[in-house]
Structure 1
Amino acid sequence: MADSTESQDTGTATARPMIEAVGLSKFYGPFAAARDVSFSVSEGELVAFLGPNGAGKSTTMKMLTGYIAPSEGFGRIAGHNMMEDRIEGSRHLGYLPENGPLYPEMTPYSMLEFFADARGMSKAQKKDQIEKVIEICDLSSVMYKATSKLSKGFKQRVGMSQALLHEPDVLILDEPTAGLDPNQIRGVRKTMKRLSETKTILLSTHILQEVEAMADRVVMINEGRVVYDGNVEDLRNIGNGDLDEAFHKLTAGATV
């Protein structure tokens, strides 16, 4: 397979691929959670990763980040193969898993200090970065409350803050608005748009309104396979102007 960074000289620069899934598959006995998943996300893109529950989105994201080993294929982050060079790739990556694990007895501030120390930040760098993510994620009102006492929305913000702490180039976010109320979702969307100005983002969701509100492009997966990779307008056309209908056609076995 040709290197995905290669292109013909057309007189225009080609954006660097920052997230690459190359033939990713994950088998559990005879069951394929993901099968031959391939796509890339270029520098500066915000791509929505769509699919129904159980489609293989979380499995694919875990393989991309190196959290689980693929049965076949590999993922690359900023050019680093996440099975062979995970540590260096992780320097570029902020990952927020669905219902990401937090330490309930710790405050957001103490948790951020812990993660900063784990990443080897200097005292000055730690202070600067914690202050920065507190502002980005709007956590100032809860920084010294036990995480177990926080609302779902604030817990999501705390998870986001640790993903941003080391200023990664790439964000992989699995259902960051799951379980949030409309005001909280609005806040997450605002944060995503702000972050997309400087970062490459792959955002897993099955909420179509989020696609219209935020995404540059859509990759859709169903039953472990990619069934669509393109822009929002072309996806809408599949459903005769209706994203819900397009989603149904591509994931419910109908012929497009």
Structure 2
Amino acid sequence: MLSGSPIGVFDSGIGGLTVFRSIVEQLPGYDYLYLGDNGRAPYGNRSFNTIHKYTWECVQWMFKQGCPLVILACNTASAKALRTIQQQDLPKDNADKRVLGVIRPTAEVIGDYTKTKQIGVLGTKGTVQSGSYLLEIEHFSPDLKVYQQACPLWVPLIENGEYNKPGADYYVKLYLDQLMNQSSDIDTILLACTHYPLLQDKIKAHLPGHINVVAQGDIVATSLVDYLQRHLEMEQRLTKNGNRQFYTTIDDTPDFDRHASLFFADNVKSEYVDVREGC
């Protein structure tokens, strides 16, 4: 386990690594702990109660490893668990800890990417059904028209290493067509799942060149930089030795390591954990 007070980054699987890489690029000096709940992925089709239970177990485990700040680098967890964690769970026993999500930072800036004021949101079934993006984007950019499309097979393709194979093209085109059929004026598509950037090349190949495809990594990282500048009491608690540690809830750690090593120059060596112990 890491010593000190690292920033925790959590995802249901490997998708959060797309955000984690951007965070490390913008804030390289900090200590980090990444946890992928691969053993229970995907989260997208699960109920609110189950997603909250799983997410809170993982967050509590990261708190026990010394993380005073945890980033939910998972749209489904941010949509279905973050509010309950912030408003009910943290005040009980962890009032000095903070948990942040990826939806609000993205909603704050997505309006800057569109000229037609019509955007598409691609997400898991859970994220789409929650309506979180509709509510948050309405709050920050009420002039935008938002169209949503659930892509329930994309995360399983990615978690099983099929995202860069020809067979994935069928399912990429299937959901893109369903989204674009809702409006021909969509000029910006938000990848509202941190797994989806792994499909970004295929997504762009099936879209007209004028459509912006927006991933969340840099947006979330920039928002975290701003957060730490505004909350020095938290920033000063974090240790800064440039350490990174990876954990997964699936016992096939070499498979996780192969995926994670795509994002970082060094070979990743993760450890298996059971986050349910003691929760």
Global fold match (TM > 0.5): no
Greater strand share, structure number: 1
Q: Which has the higher contact order (CA 8 A, sep 6+)?
A: 2
TM-score (structure 1 length as normaliser): 0.29
Greater helix share, structure number: 2
TM-score (structure 2 length as normaliser): 0.28
